[in-house]
Structures are given as structure tokens and as C-alpha cells.
Amino acid sequence: MTTSAMTSPALNVLLDDVATTLGSVDQTINQMMAVKTALLATAARIADDEPFDSVDSREMSHRAVATELAAVLRISDRAVEAQMGDAALLVNAFPATAAAFGAGRISYAHMRIILAAGQPIETAEGRARFEKIVLPRAESESPNRLRPFAKQAAERLREVSFTERHSEARERRGVWVREADDGMAELVQFGPSALIHAEHDRLTQMAFAQKTENKRIAKESKNDDFADERMMAQLRCDILSDLILTGVPKGHTTTDGLLGEIQAHIDITVPALSLTDPDALAAPGHLEGIGPIDPETARILVGQTPGFDRVFTDPVSGTVVAVDRYRPSAEMRRYLRARDRRCRFPGCRMLARLCDGDHTIDHALGGPTALSNLADFCRRHHVTKHCTPWKVRQLGGGLLEWTSPTGRTYVDRPPGVATHVTFEDIQDRMPDPDPAPF
């Protein structure tokens, strides 16, 4: 469909009606899901407070209630029992989220993300502060953008530091095999996320290089026998088998040695104090697209890189205010990458380093190459901006206002840093100042 056809008044009116109705239907579905959740929470309370006469334990009482509901719903009683537990957790531990869910302001997906991120917070006070931080974002962002924000907001409110938890979790690292059907099996590796993602990235690079080389040979030899029809996932599997079965182990005995082998491109945000402070309470780093990593891993990765972006942020709002680099080059592009983090179309999380730099006002039409006229868009949304009636304009401070074909507006805010926590939220965790010398 061409742009001129999409902008016809009749189609715009029709699309506006569809969008409005779809929004209302979605809100109604969310509210009905909230009602279902409230009923499941009531069922859990019944199992807690009024067990059946023939049941002599809380576990059996919950199983009996879940079985009753499962028969009505025609689903597994195990599934119902799990849903009852989640519903009770929502109502009892996250009342503000339950209220927003019941009012249809957030979806089921948003609620699940808040629940998963906030559940590990140890105190009721911490969970209440977490809800205060995360709910406004949930009401204005897509679930996939909410997830990393919620994880980092929750991390700030944990009683046990990320470093201590990571150290305990790392002791559970291992490799095991799970059998599958048709003569297949799964080799599962559980370990530090920085290593696992680096392994996957290296396999991807090697698979791409192998496929490119096979394509070149087939073209030059004009022999289709060299054509490589394998998918990237298949190539990664084959190369991993080659590396394990024919490679010579280097005998890395420490995490430092393994991290020193990482050659992949990594976007990592590290609080400055975490680079120098060996204390267990140092704030974790953030591996872009993955999540928190322990400060020791962050220090090792930063030590291995030939250069890095230094991002200065406002200490209260978290807004990016400047960027520099030890080895300066393309300052404006690095600033945009640090500010935008991902595609700036509402709801999209494609990493900024994989996006196109775009002039909001086309350069051909006189748009300046200035920070106030630049933003990062993934290829899909870059094309959407230029080839459909969607319009975008800069509001200042990195804010982008998108206008849909029906005239609806959506403001996309740059994440700047992964989470926004007020001074009041963190002041009780800050170290005491040095005593006065008198």
C-alpha cells in the first residue's frame, strides 16, 4: 500500500476507529485478567484459612482447591496451583501493581515482569519503593523495554549485594546432558552470563565467517557442492562440536583467564567506583541486552578493552549529560549511542549499535547534523519513518514525539541510564561521609 493511499481521509478514519476499539478491547481483556487473578488469590486465601476437613496440611489444602478449579477450567491442577501462588503474591506483596492491573493501566505481561523482578526484594518497604519507581514506566512502556528497567530498579533495593549473590551462584556452574527424542540430546551449560553470551557471540562470528567462505568458494569454482545451506543455528552447533572434540584445552583455571579470551563486541555500563572499589557492596555493572554483572567481571572486561566510552550522568535524574572517550573518534555518534541505547521507536529494543543514525529533518531538506536533529532507529523503523505517514519531531533533551497516521502522538524518552532512582531511594545506601577533622 502506498503512502498516498494510507493518507486518504477515509482510510485514516477507519484506522482510527480500529485503533481506538483495539485499545478499548485490550484494556477490557487486561481488566478481566485482573478479575481472574483476584479470584485465584481468593482461592489461595481459602486454602490458607479454611482447609477442607479431610486435609491436614497447607500443601494438601492448596492442592485440593487447585484440583477443584482445574476441573472447571479443564487445565492442569499444577498450573492452577502455580497461578494461585502468583496471584496471592501479587495481591499481598505488590498491592499497587495489583491496583494498576485491575484498573487496566498495565497488561498481564507488565504485571508478570514486575512480579518476577520484584519478588526477590526482601522487605515490604523495598517492594513498595520498587513499585513506586517501576509502575510509571510500566504504564508508558512496552513489556520488553520494562524488563531491564525493572531488573535494575529491583537490584538497587536488594539487601544482599549482587556481588555476594553472583559469587554463590557461580559455585553452581556446570555442564550436563538432557536426552531428547529421535536420537538427539541437549548439552546444557550454566555459567556466568558474560562468558555464556561471549561464547555464543564467538560461535556466531565463526559461523558467519565459515558460511561466507563457503559461498566464495562455490562462486569461484562454479561448483554447487561447496554451497552451504546450513542455518546459523546449525553452523553454531557444528562449530561448537568441532571446538570441543578437536580443540586443545588451554586449562584456564580462573574466571579472569576465561574473561581475558573474550574478543566479542560488548556494551557495558560500569559505575566509576565499581572499577576501583573491591568492596562487595560495589554497584554491579550492566551488560547491555543481558543484565547485571558482578563488579569483578566488569573490571576484567573493561581492562581488556582497547578503548571505551565514558558517559557522564546527572547524579539524581540519571540523564546523560556528556560523553568522552580515551581515544576520541566520532563523538556525536558515541553520544547518541550512549543516550539512546536502543531504537527510539516506541516499544522497540534493538540495540543502538545495530541501528541506523537518522536525521529527524532530512539532511537533503536542510536538516543539520546536530545532536538536536539525530536519533537511532533500527532499519525497520527507519524505513517506517521515511516510507509511511508516521512522523517524528525532536522536543529537546532527546525526547522524540511520534505522530501516527491517525494523529495519535507517542513520546519516547531516552533511557540514558538503565534505571531512574531518586536520591531518596538510595541515600540510605550511600557511605557515611568522612568525619570532620575537628
**What pLDDT, in 10s, does the model give residues 40-98?**
999 999 888 866 555 557 788 888 888 888 888 888 888 999 999 999 999 999 999 99
Helix (H, G, I), strand (E, B) or coil at 13: helix
Assess if residue 288 is contained within a domain. no
Contact (CB, 8 A) for 65 and 54:
no
- What is the pLDDT, as a whole number, of residue 251? 47
Looking at the structure, tell me whether residues 165 and 180 fall in a common domain: no
Looking at the structure, tell me whether residues 184 and 162 fall in a common domain: no
Backbone torsion region of residue 12, taken as left when φ is above 0, otherwise alpha when ψ lies between -120 and 50, otherwise beta = alpha
Looking at the structure, tell me whether residues 39 and 136 fall in a common domain: yes
> What are residue 412's DSSP bridge partners?
400
| Lowest mean pLDDT segment, chosen from 5-9, 321-325, 356-360, 434-438 | 434-438
Count of domains in the chain? 3
List the domain range (segments joined by +) for residue 203: 174-259
Residues 6+ apart with CB under 8 A from 74: none
Average pLDDT over residues 307-324: 55
Looking at the structure, tell me whether residues 29 and 144 fall in a common domain: yes
Of 250 and 155, more confident: 155
What nine digits make up the cell of 22? 483495539
- What is the pLDDT, as a whole number, of residue 305? 61
Q: Does pLDDT of 428 surpass 80?
A: no
Assess if residue 113 is contained within a domain. yes
Average pLDDT over residues 150-165: 89
- What is the pLDDT, as a whole number, of residue 277? 62
- What is the pLDDT, as a whole number, of residue 35? 92
Looking at the structure, tell me whether residues 49 and 190 fall in a common domain: no
Task: Name the pTM for this structure.
Answer: 0.62
Rounded CA separation 318/255 (Å):
31
Domain C-terminal end among 259, 280, 305? 259
Assess if residue 431 is contained within a domain. no
Assess if residue 13 is contained within a domain. no
Assess if residue 3 is contained within a domain. no
Measured CA to CA in angstroms, residue 63 lies from 7, 38, 67, 140, 392 at distances of: 57, 18, 6, 38, 54
Looking at the structure, tell me whether residues 122 and 209 fall in a common domain: no
Looking at the structure, tell me whether residues 163 and 250 fall in a common domain: no
Portion of the chain with pLDDT greater than 90, in percent = 27
